């Protein structure tokens, strides 16, 4: 197998983002295939016993077992690291496998974590339920309040954990400030960059230590597989993450890795076009929603309190936004009247999808936590896809009218 492109080659470092997304991490076999090969194998064979012993001892390069390495998965890891501007990346079985591994691999009983209160429901479950069960204290704060990050630091604070933009309230964290604060206190930042993808935002450029992904979202981009990834320095990945990953096994299947590799080829194009469409649909909706007494939560619109910051730290503001129509009844009426946009709780897909977070993605967290993070009963979240924007506007127009908005 020939590594035609690799992270250590000077050429790849010069490549611009679209080239990295399409060609980064391509290893070609002796057949010279254009598209990456799919290695559906759990194990490997060896010419002699000394070879396998050297590989297990870490003295020779080469695959030993697909929980540890697989050529298709390795291609994906190399491409994601290159797109992120990270020294290394490891693929994970899902986004939640990535978040769990990124936290548990480095924390122990007696540590303290500061986390953003606005977050995907399962990410909040890690912070509110899982970590405390193992003696790890957690504090949740308003992530848009820079002073709150500083005030929450304790002598045993080890990790800052947050999403930006956050699911589903689109809170924006000041990456430069929060990552700088963490560095100054020897705290590791773990940023969930699922809403943006490396095509729109690269948190490491602002000082983030670890960037974790649900690759199920924009990276796949076509709603096919679950996948995740964690990016960091080579040393952190090898010394902190790998011992945890090797022995607990949240490994990505080679097939799913191959699907995500295909998704990444078009990621920059999709992410930018879907961001443009999200701004256009948001501009159409905003006067209607505000006239009806509702709220728009859209980092791409001037009305978002951190619109300027979002524009400064993101190349484009992404395909997802939310808006509040007042009550659960009205929100359900809008969803039920949709003719083109699907009712679905996934995001990052090339299809437009809409959901009611309070009864789906954030249902399990309890009414109090939902109220605290602004997941109201009238809130709807939309992922804007690649359909003709006029068709999307017409569908929203008729669905709002049907709901009396
Ligand atoms: C911000 C965020 N992080 C993590 C996840 C979890 O990803 P997965 O569904 O791939 O486990 C999601 C899924 O919706 C998400 O929106």
Residue 111, pLDDT > 50, answer yes
pLDDT tens digit sequence for 19-52: 999 999 988 888 999 999 999 999 999 999 999 9
Q: Confirm if 355 and 314 have CB atoms less than 8 A apart.
A: no
Q: Which residue in the block uniquely carries the two structure tokens 């122990």?
A: 108
Are residue 85 and residue 229 in the same domain, yes or no?
Answer: yes
- What pLDDT score does 11 carry? 77
Q: State whether the beta carbon of 188 lies less than 6 angstroms from ligand 1.
A: no
Whether 5 shows a pLDDT value over 60: the answer reads no
**Of 264, 294, 328, which marks where a domain is finished?**
264
Total structural domains within the chain: 2
Residue 4: pLDDT band with limits 50, 70, 90? low
Q: How far is the CA of 248 from the centre of ligand 1 (A)?
A: 20
Is the minimum distance from the CB of 164 to ligand 1 under 6 angstroms? no
- Phi then psi for 347, rounded to 5 degrees? -135, 165
52 and 142 inside one domain: yes
Same domain as 290, residue 256: no
Same domain, 237 and 277: no
How far apart CA 364 and CA 278 sit, in angstroms, is: 28
Dist CA 81 CA 267 (whole Å) = 14
137 and 231 part of one domain:
yes
Between the CA atoms of 346, 352, 358 and 362, what dihedral angle is there, to the nearest 10 degrees? 20
Answer whether 122's CB lies under 8 Å from 258's CB: no
SS3 155: coil
User: Counting every residue, how long is the chain?
Assistant: 405
pLDDT for the residue 7: 45
Q: pLDDT digit string (tens) for 131-150?
A: 999 999 999 999 999 999 99
Distance CA 90, CA 68 (A): 10
CA 194 / ligand 1 centre spacing (Å): 7
Query: Which percentage of the chain shows pLDDT scores above 70?
Result: 98
pLDDT at 138: 98
DSSP 220-288: T-SS----EEEEE-HHHIIIIIHHHHHHH--PPPHHHHHHHHHHHHTHHHHHHHHHHHHHHHHHHHHHH
Q: Are 246 and 296 in a shared domain?
A: no
Q: What is the CATH number of the domain that holds 106?
A: 3.40.640.10
* Phi and psi, residue 179, nearest 5°: -70, -35
Whether 322 and 231 map to the same domain: the answer is no
Long-range contacts of 121-125 (CB under 8 A, 24+ apart): 121/361, 121/362, 121/363, 121/364, 121/365, 122/96, 123/96, 123/99, 123/161, 123/163, 123/167, 123/192, 124/365, 124/369, 124/373, 125/364, 125/365
DSSP 126: I
Is there a single domain that holds both residue 275 and residue 203? no
Of ligand 1's listed atoms, the one at least distance from the Cα of 195 is: 1
Question: Is residue 231 within 8 Å of 89, Cβ to Cβ?
Answer: yes
Residue 370 above 80 pLDDT?
A: yes
Closest CA to 384 of 338, 359, 355, 350: 350
Average pLDDT over residues 379-405: 98
pLDDT digits (tens, 9 = 90+) for 298-320: 999 999 999 999 999 999 999 99
- Output the CA 393–ligand 1 centroid distance in Å: 27
Number of H helices, E strands in the chain: 17, 14
Whether the bond into 168 is cis, omega within 30 of 0: yes
CATH code of 366's domain: 3.90.1150.10
C-alpha distances out from residue 118 to 27, 162, 293, 307, 374, Å: 39, 8, 23, 17, 8
Cβ atoms of 128 and 369 closer than 8 Å = yes
Domain interval for residue 56: 2-264
Q: What pLDDT does 264 receive? A: 98
Tell me if 96 CB under 6 Å of ligand 1.
yes
Q: Which of 237, 264, 291 is the last residue of a domain?
A: 264
Query: What number does the ligand 1 atom closest to the CA of 194 have?
Result: 1
Angstrom distance (rounded) from CA 387 to CA 384: 8
What average pLDDT does this structure show over 112-126?
Answer: 97
226 lines ligand 1 (CB under 6 A): yes
From 92, 93, 94, 95, the mutation candidate for ligand 1 (largest count of ligand atoms within 8 A of CB) is: 95
**CA of residue 295 to ligand 1 center, whole Å:** 24
State pLDDT tens for residues 157-175: 999 999 999 999 999 999 9
Residue 330 shares a structural domain with residue 299: yes
Q: How confident is the model at residue 6 (pLDDT cuts 50, 70, 90)?
A: very low
Which ligand 1 atom is at minimum distance from the Cα of 96?
A: 11
Please check whether residues 246 and 102 belong to one and the same domain: yes
**Which two three-digit tokens encode residue 275?**
């961001």
**Mean pLDDT lowest for which of 21-35, 37-51, 255-269, 280-294?**
21-35
Q: Is the Cβ atom of 167 under 6 angstroms away from ligand 1?
A: yes
Q: What is the pLDDT of residues 223-241, one digit of tens each?
A: 999 999 999 999 999 999 9
CA angle, 324 then 142 then 306, to 5°: 65
Judgement on whether residues 273 and 254 belong to the same structural domain of the protein: no
Give the pLDDT score at 135: 98
Atom of ligand 1 nearest to the CA of 215: 10
Contact 228 CB / ligand 1 (< 6 Å): yes
What average pLDDT does the structure give for the chain?
96
Least confident range from 10-14, 113-117, 161-165, 248-252: namely 10-14
Asked if residue 333 and residue 219 are part of one domain, the reply reads no
Show which of 264, 291, 310 is a domain's final residue.
264
Secondary structure (H, E, C), 87-124? CEEEEECCHHHHHHHHHHCCCCCCCEEEEECCCCHHHH
The Cα 126–Cα 333 span in angstroms is 32
- The rounded distance, in Å, linking the Cα atoms of 348 and 318 is 9
Residue 189: strand pairing partners: 160
């Amino acid at each position: 197998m020939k590594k035609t492109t690799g992270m250590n080659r000077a050429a790849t470092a010069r490549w611009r983002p679209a080239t990295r997304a399409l060609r980064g991490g391509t290893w070609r076999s002796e057949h010279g295939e254009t598209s990456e090969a799919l290695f559906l194998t759990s194990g490997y064979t060896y010419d002699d016993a000394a070879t396998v012993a050297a590989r297990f001892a870490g003295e020779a390069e080469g695959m030993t077992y697909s929980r540890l390495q697989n050529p298709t998965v390795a291609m994906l890891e190399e491409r994601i690291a290159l797109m992120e501007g990270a020294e290394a990346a490891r693929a994970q079985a899902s986004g939640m496998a990535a978040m769990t591994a990124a936290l548990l691999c480095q924390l122990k009983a007696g540590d303290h974590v500061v986390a953003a209160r606005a977050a995907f429901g399962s990410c909040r479950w890690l912070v509110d339920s899982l970590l405390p069960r193992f003696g790890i204290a957690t504090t949740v704060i308003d992530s848009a309040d820079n002073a709150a990050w500083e005030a929450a630091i304790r002598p045993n604070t080890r990790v800052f954990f947050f999403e930006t933009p956050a699911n589903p309230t689109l809170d924006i964290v000041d990456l430069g400030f929060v990552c700088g604060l963490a560095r100054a206190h020897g705290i590791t930042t773990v940023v969930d960059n699922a809403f943006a993808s490396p095509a729109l935002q690269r948190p490491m450029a602002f000082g983030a230590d670890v960037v974790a992904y649900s690759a199920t979202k924009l990276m796949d981009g076509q709603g096919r597989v679950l996948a995740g990834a964690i990016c960091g320095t080579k040393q952190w990945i090898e010394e902190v993450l790998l011992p945890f990953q090797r022995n607990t096994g949240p490994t990505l299947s080679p097939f799913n890795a191959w699907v995500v590799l295909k998704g990444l080829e078009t990621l920059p194009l999709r992410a930018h076009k879907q961001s443009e469409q999200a701004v256009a649909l948001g501009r159409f909706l905003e006067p209607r929603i505000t006239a009806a007494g509702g709220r728009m939560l859209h980092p791409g619109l001037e009305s978002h309190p951190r619109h300027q910051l979002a524009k400064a730290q993101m190349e484009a503001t992404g395909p997802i936004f939310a808006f509040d129509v007042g009550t659960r009844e009205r929100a359900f009426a809008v969803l039920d009247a949709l003719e083109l946009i699907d009712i679905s709780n996934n995001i990052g897909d090339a299809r437009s999808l809409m959901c009611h977070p309070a009864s789906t993605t954030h249902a399990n967290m309890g009414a109090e936590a939902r109220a605290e993070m602004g997941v109201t009963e009238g809130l709807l979240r939309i992922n804007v896809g690649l359909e003709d924007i006029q068709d999307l506007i017409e569908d929203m127009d008729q669905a709002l009218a049907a709901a009396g908005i």
